[in-house]
Structure 1
Amino acid sequence: MRSKVSVIGAGFVGSTLAQRLAERDYADVVMFDIVPDMPQGKALDILEAGPVLGYDSLVIGTNDYADTANSDIVVITSGFPRKPGMSRDDLVKKNQEIVAQVTEQVVKHSPNCIIIVVTNPLDAMAQVALKVSGFPRERVIGMAGVLDTARFRTFIAQEVGASVRDVQAYVLGGHGDTMVPLARMCTVAGIPISQLMPADRIEQIVQRTRDGGAEIVKLLKTGSAYFAPSASVLQMVDSILLDKKMIMPCAVSLQGEYGFNDIFVGVPAQLGAKGIEKVIEIELTPEERNALEKSADAVKELIQVMGL
């Protein structure tokens, strides 16, 4: 029997993820959206690519949460992008309302699922999903660090002329300006990047990583990134559904780890069939710890805005 993955929100991130999942050929995919007929049209298009690419995944588009019932994983991408004139607090409250409503429906129809949150502001929305669902922390995960790390690895590989496969890196903290790329631990084929490029160039790459999403928004003029975000979710789904037990940076509700409690912070976590199976604690330098605390403080401000 195939696994079932439901994607809530059939926009660019959601529909691209649905396509990537179908091409994996290990799960049936349900794509939900409130816009009439739109998810049905996109799902049919993806389904019709199956004979060409050779996958048998069933892809369904729907406007009815009942079709998502008994999902193994539910990915929440629904939400508003930030628009001109909209403050960060406005965006938080608007998306809080959406994610809360979505989570209620997810729990109603798939009470045993694992939830992956993609909606921004990511860490705050994961907090909403955890509170509304009542799930244990192992089953509510935020996607951010995988994407941020992918950007970091991309820029390093380009700089040194190496394969991205040879670059290992971690980005911790919140998904935004306060993220904490751990340049000290970054290597290319096991060689520390401090031996491959000067410190000022490393710092420039770190800053470009922090600005990664904004750089794409600026270039696109309308909309934001979706190819790399959807690929990042896919890696998480791979590790969970196939029980790969990969260690990757995810937004996790910490319970004492790194000195934080009841707050989502990006840290390395092992993902397997049960969701988060282990939180990995890295020994940080005082500078790195201060940066992580600053990142956590930014998340706390959003939580206060939401009244959680």
Structure 2
Amino acid sequence: MRSKITVVGAGFVGSTLVQRLAERDYADVVMFDIVPNMPQGKALDMLEAGPVLGFDSQVTGTNSYEDTVGSDIVVITSGFPRKPGMSRDDLVKKNQEIVSQVTEQVVTYSPDSIIIVVTNPLDAMAQLAHKVSGFPRERVIGMAGVLDTARFRTFIAQEVGASVKDVQAYVLGGHGDTMVPLSRLCTVAGIPIAQLISAERIEQIVQRTRDGGAEIVKLLGTGSAYFAPSASVLQMIDSIILDKKMIMPCAAYLQGEYGIEGLYVGVPVKLGAKGIEEVVEIELTPKEKELLQKSADAVKELVAVMGI
């Protein structure tokens, strides 16, 4: 029997993710949106690509949460997008109500599901979904570090002229201006980047990574990134559905790890069939610890704004 995955929000991130999932051919996919007929139209269009691309996944568009019943994974992408000049912090109140309502429906129709939160501000919305759902921390995960790390790896690969496959890196912390790219641990084919790139240039790449989302928002003029974010969610779902136990940075609810208690922050986790199977603790330098705590404090401020 196929797995069932629901994607809430049929905008650019959501619909692109649904297409990627359908092409994986390991699950049936439900795409929910409140806009009448829109998810149905997109789903039918994707379904008709099946004979060409060779997938048998069923893709269903709906305006009813009843069609999402019994989902194994629910991805929350719905919410207001970030506009030019708007920080992720500005989004918090706007998206709090939406994510709360969606999470309540997830609990009603898919009480055993794993929730992946994509809506920004990411870490705060994951914290909200965790509280509203009452699910254990293993089953509420935020997509953040996978995307931030992908950007970091992209820029490094371009800098040294190497394949992105040879670049290994981690970006920790909140999904925003205070994220912590661990350049010290970044390697290209096992070679530390400090041996390949000047310290000044590394710092420039780190800053570009922090500004990665804003750079795309500025270029687009309207809207925000969706190709890389949807690919990042897909990698997380691959690891869960196929029980790959990949280790990747995600927003996870920390219970003392990294000296942080009761807060969603981006850290390396092992993802398997049960969701988060382990929080992986990396030994950080005093400076890295300081930056991670600063990032956690920024998330804490957003959580306080929501009053949860």
- TM-score tier (shorter): over 0.9
Contact 2:83 2:222 (C-alpha < 8 Å) held by counterparts:
no
Contact 1:100 1:128 (C-alpha < 8 Å) held by counterparts:
yes
The secondary structure found in structure 1 opposite 2:176 is coil
Q: What one-letter code is carried by the residue in structure 2 that aligns with 1:179?
A: M
Distance in 1, Cα, partners of 2:151 & 2:89: 27
The answer to which of 222-231 and 74-83 deviates more is 74-83
Partner residue of 1:5? Answer: 5
Contact 1:89 1:305 (C-alpha < 8 Å) held by counterparts:
no
The secondary structure found in structure 2 opposite 1:60 is strand
Distance in 1, Cα, partners of 2:87 & 2:206: 26
The secondary structure found in structure 1 opposite 2:21 is helix
The answer to which of 84-93 and 262-271 deviates more is 84-93
State how 1:136-155 maps to structure 2 within 5 Å.
136-155=136-155
Distance in 2, Cα, partners of 1:87 & 1:232: 21
Partner residue of 1:14? Answer: 14
Distance in 1, Cα, partners of 2:303 & 2:55: 42
Shift of the 86–281 alpha-carbon distance from structure 1 to 2, 3 Å rule, reads: closer
Shift of 1:82: 3.5
Shift of 1:89: 5.8
Contact 2:116 2:141 (C-alpha < 8 Å) held by counterparts:
yes
TM, length-normalised to structure 2: 0.98
Distance in 2, Cα, partners of 1:166 & 1:2: 33
Shift of the 207–84 alpha-carbon distance from structure 1 to 2, 3 Å rule, reads: closer
Shift of 1:194: 0.3
State how 1:225-304 maps to structure 2 within 5 Å.
225-304=225-304
The secondary structure found in structure 1 opposite 2:57 is coil
Shift of 1:93: 1.3
Contact 2:169 2:182 (C-alpha < 8 Å) held by counterparts:
yes
The secondary structure found in structure 2 opposite 1:176 is coil
Distance in 2, Cα, partners of 1:204 & 1:85: 21
Runs of 4+ residues over 3 Å off in structure 1:
82-90
* 1:96-116 CA distance string (max 9 Å, x none): 110000000011000000000
Distance in 2, Cα, partners of 1:87 & 1:211: 11
Partner residue of 1:111? Answer: 111
Q: What one-letter code is carried by the residue in structure 2 that aligns with 1:246?
A: M
- Does 2:40 align with 1:40? yes
Shift of 1:94: 1.7
Shift of the 68–282 alpha-carbon distance from structure 1 to 2, 3 Å rule, reads: same
Q: What one-letter code is carried by the residue in structure 1 that aligns with 2:38?
A: M
* 1:111-166 CA distance string (max 9 Å, x none): 00000000000000000100000000000000000000000000000000000000
Q: What one-letter code is carried by the residue in structure 1 that aligns with 2:50?
A: G
Partner residue of 2:56? Answer: 56
Distance in 2, Cα, partners of 1:94 & 1:109: 24
Alignment identity in percent?
84
Partner residue of 1:202? Answer: 202
Partner residue of 1:306? Answer: 306
- Does 2:58 align with 1:77? no
The secondary structure found in structure 2 opposite 1:155 is helix
Distance in 1, Cα, partners of 2:47 & 2:299: 39
State how 1:64-103 maps to structure 2 within 5 Å.
64-83=64-83, 91-103=91-103
Distance in 2, Cα, partners of 1:112 & 1:4: 12
Contact 2:84 2:217 (C-alpha < 8 Å) held by counterparts:
no
Q: What one-letter code is carried by the residue in structure 2 that aligns with 1:37?
A: N
Q: List gaps (5 residues or longer) in structure 1.
A: none
Distance in 1, Cα, partners of 2:62 & 2:24: 21
Q: List gaps (5 residues or longer) in structure 2.
A: none
Distance in 1, Cα, partners of 2:180 & 2:88: 21
Q: What one-letter code is carried by the residue in structure 1 that aligns with 2:171?
A: V
Partner residue of 1:215? Answer: 215
Aligned CA RMSD, in angstroms, stands at 1.1
The secondary structure found in structure 2 opposite 1:277 is strand
TM, length-normalised to structure 1: 0.98
Q: What one-letter code is carried by the residue in structure 2 that aligns with 1:222?
A: T
Distance in 1, Cα, partners of 2:53 & 2:62: 23
Q: What one-letter code is carried by the residue in structure 1 that aligns with 2:23?
A: E
Shift of 1:81: 1.7
Shift of the 162–82 alpha-carbon distance from structure 1 to 2, 3 Å rule, reads: closer
Shift of 1:87: 7.7
Shift of 1:85: 8.7
Q: Provide the aligned length of Structure 1 versus Structure 2.
A: 308
